[in-house]
């Protein structure tokens, strides 16, 4: 009887010590949850630095919605008075966004001013008016002949000089359009970079 008990005790000690044929216990982990070891390993892994572009590759590259040829098909203006180089956003009779690249070769700089070239404020307003005209004119409407006229300029402010090398980015937004009389109200703004340089409320009279 004693031998049997010792044998039983021996068997229980063998179970307590885990025999080679006993199943291995695997730690439980919830699906979708990373272990602490994995997280630490990922944190210690080197992070690749973003490739830095050369300055020559960081300039503005706006896709033309209307290029200079399409602009000339719509506006009657020509050198030296065509003051919109490209239209990048446009919705008929709603709004337009476009720009003029200002260069020292512009014909007004020799006289304004010889010692300090500055784009005349009236030409900044003219450029915004031309952009507004692009917003309103239909190149297929031959009867209108692409003509419009200034009806008024209100609340005009020049915030900062525009000089050679600047890109004058403009937005013309139609705020009111009286189709019966062909009168258009426009909120116009001009920027160099993020700085507002000119703003005005324009009135245009569309030719009939």
Record the tokens describing residue 25, joined without a space.
């216990």
Coil/strand/helix, residue 47: coil
Record the tokens describing residue 77, joined without a space.
């203006």
| Active site members | 112
CA angle (180, 82, 99) in 5-degree steps: 90
Record the tokens describing residue 58, joined without a space.
């960081």
Coil/strand/helix, residue 134: helix
In contact, 163 and 197? CB cutoff 8 Å: no
Q: What is the largest CA-CA distance in the chain?
A: 125
Could you tell me the CA-to-CA distances from 88 to 98, 124, 157 in Å, in that order?
Answer: 6, 18, 24
């Amino acid at each position: 009887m004693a031998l049997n008990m010792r044998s039983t005790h021996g068997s229980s000690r063998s179970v307590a010590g885990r025999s080679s044929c006993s199943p291995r216990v695997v730690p439980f982990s919830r699906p979708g949850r990373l272990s602490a070891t994995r997280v630490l390993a990922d944190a210690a892994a080197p992070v690749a630095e973003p490739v830095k572009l050369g300055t020559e590759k960081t300039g503005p590259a706006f896709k033309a919605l209307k290029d200079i040829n399409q602009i000339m098909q719509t506006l009657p203006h020509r050198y030296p008075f065509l003051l919109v180089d490209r239209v990048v956003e446009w919705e008929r009779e709603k709004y337009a966004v476009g720009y003029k690249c200002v260069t020292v070769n512009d014909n007004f700089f020799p006289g304004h001013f010889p010692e300090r070239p500055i784009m005349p404020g009236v030409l900044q307003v003219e450029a915004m008016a031309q952009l507004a005209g692009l917003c309103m004119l239909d190149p297929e409407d031959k009867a209108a002949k692409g003509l419009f006229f200034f009806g008024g300029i209100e609340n005009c402010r020049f915030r900062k000089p525009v000089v050679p090398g600047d890109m004058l980015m403009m937005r013309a937004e139609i705020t009111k359009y009286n189709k019966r009389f062909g009168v258009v109200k426009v909120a116009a703004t001009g920027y160099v970079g993020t700085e507002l340089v000119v703003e005005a409320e324009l009135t245009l009279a569309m030719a009939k």
